[in-house]
Amino acid sequence: MASNVRRRLAGLVAGGAAGVLLAGCSVNVPDPAAPKPSPSVSTLATPTVTPGHDAAAVAAKDLPLAAGGTLAPGEPVTVSSRLEEVPGWSVVHSAQQGENRYKKADGCTFVVRVSVNQGPLVVAGDDAASTKELFNYLNAGALEGLKPASLRWGEGSDKPQHSVEFLGLESSAASGGKPAVVLARLFSAPASSVYVSLSCPDDATLNAARAEAMARLVVVPPS
């Protein structure tokens, strides 16, 4: 039963993203021959309104892992990432099965992916446990190194800044791994996930690319 669920999920999580080495392990890419999800763009083009759900109130405060239940079911969290506006970065592809991929002239690669229909991995009402299930699916055995991380939550530079909590894995050349960062969160209520990865040739380029990428990356609450 579990193997059937995982096969159905192949292509829904981090599909097409390059394998990233972390702490001696690899975040593996699901089988590219497996069924592909419906394009996220189609899903995002038809927003719904959940009766009694105050989307503005949710967007106006931080969203720790414990607060995932405040999101409305069904409508996924999205992302905004205009990294191509930063000198040295360019777009490899955009909105391809929910994924944006960027490359930098120094060899860094940045991937942002929104995946929907993640129900088989969801632990109802528990974003932390759901996110651990997501990481376990991507790379069994990677849970030991997971650490909390935050990204910007909500659009509008003229508004107070808020954060959304993710879980992440990091590795560096100094620890014997490939310099890389992977952040992800599976939002249990809408059963959708946001996956972010950055890999670079060395620690110095990773630190510089991370500052640039995270400054441009915004996690956008459902409206």
183 touches 43 (CB < 8 A) = no
Torsional sign, CA 59, 65, 118, 69: negative
208 backbone φψ class: left, alpha, beta (φ>0; ψ -120 to 50): alpha
The pTM of this model reads 0.78
Burial 105-141 (b: 16+ CB within 10 A, else e): eeebbbbbbbbbbbeebbeeebbbbbbbbbbebbbee
Successive 10-residue mean pLDDT values, the chain, 223 residues? 41 40 38 39 40 74 93 90 95 94 98 96 96 90 87 80 95 87 96 97 97 95 84
What does each C-alpha distance from 119 to 9, 105, 153, 191 come to in angstroms? 9, 38, 23, 5
Q: How many Cβ atoms from other residues are within 10 Å of residue 100's Cβ?
A: 22
Q: Which domain holds residue 20?
A: 2-31+40-220
Residue 146, pLDDT score: 94
The pLDDT, as a whole number, for residue 46 is: 38
Total domains in the chain come to 1
> Dihedral of the CA atoms 84, 204, 184, 72 (nearest 10)?
-50
Q: Which two tokens stand for residue 125?
A: 């009402």
